Structure 1
């Protein structure tokens, strides 16, 4: 005879069920209809200084998600996260948007365990001066990342939605690492009670170990103290070292999709690998621009600089810049 499951004590909540049915993990169909989901704010966009986070789970219409992304300011890097039906949103602007090839990882903060020892040589805290905000931007530029807009970081240092943490070298006082946290509950009354980590960067000139890990840990501890349920982050699928670190800290991969704009900042993410052929400069100009526009390139004769361009069932053969 099958054993009946033990009933939950009165007042006890099964968080494992929440983790399976979490609205932020539902990437298809209609918006949830439970009271908490209905109470969250709609069409939420959070300004982060280096771009905007578009919380797609707060949008009922995928077209509006695509439209919001298309309003990206020059030099910024907007991100649409927690998409439902990402293929539908992408179909509204396939020439302008692309599905980001990153994985999403989630840390359930109640499972997080602080380390027995903290790394030495630096401390993690919030910024204390406009000069430190400038140092943060120098790190981002050195890492080929989008910096904060001028004065944004200092002006928003006391934000209840954004938390920017920096690692400070104790010997020199220099900023040697930075990350941004977003509190979803304060941003839009998130029914999942979540948070997320963005724009983690470490000064390439610093030789101190453990800076990135310490920033992740401090932000996780911050959101745990705030009572948040989880902290999410997005990482390139090829960044195996970072993925191993996150898994060591207790992060697990979750089915969350991200949409971004086809701009010069994101170019390497959507144009695919370069043709191995050694084309001359005139042919290379055409080939590179075609790849940026999503046009397939096939090199037919490398020595003669013949190549074919195909798009939407049509193809033309070119030699250098002539077709």
Structure 2
């Protein structure tokens, strides 16, 4: 089986062709960083217009790179949500049109499911496994029991960790996108700031919080600026301190999730980390220690498959197509679409979507 995947939920326009042998025949991503950088973040209308301008040509290029025509496809997959609704609509409508014209199944997949199943594309991991999903809009811990079967153990009660990295980078004057900028700056630290808070650490649940950490960082930056002491060295030390505090919080919550998950799912096969923040090397190192202590494999997709891409969307669609699933052409794109729809709602960015 072979499918075309389309991703347009935020600020990457992406198209990919993937087959059931786990071969990525094409995986093209057109970044909009330059368009959004002047604003310090993603502007939804700018993103949607850029998807409109570029998606058709990107799909053509992906099909050409894969060396096939639309008649060879077994299905057309697109992100159906969650995300910036304008961009989601562009991708979903394009996929529907291709599917209708060429009489192929259309599959709308949850963007988060794309992240959740990426390790099955790259490493063929068996169910069930524990997933730490960390990105600009999401921060969750889930037990992945099967395709479409997700049990949420914890989520952020306020901000996603990727959003916190972006805000930290803006406060420190490091630019956009924030995650890579903070990671680069932290490498130059001579005396990392160690007394920033570790929100939720030691709690009996598996939830996250990052708003207090951002506030503490802002207060430190403001105080240094007022004293005329905010220089490149202070910038690097604060970046390192913020990164360490965020990773400490993620690690503590993940340890708790391993304990909780094993109470009901003793046959966990792995600890998987996915989403854009999963590309952070320091986070991967800490999670590898947690996994080793729990006698679990740590699986982290390559960096290019951590950030938003269409290969993960294509694979999630393939997983569903093999189970006989497809979506009606009147499927309505969704700005919010929780993976675990039975979980009690929280007020955080990581669970609204």
TM range (shorter): under 0.3
TM-score normalized by the length of structure 1: 0.25
Select the structure with the greater relative contact order (CA < 8 A; seq sep ≥ 6): 2
Who wins on radius of gyration, i.e. which is larger? 1
- Give the TM-score of the pair, scaled to structure 2: 0.24
Considering fraction of residues, name the structure with more strand: 1
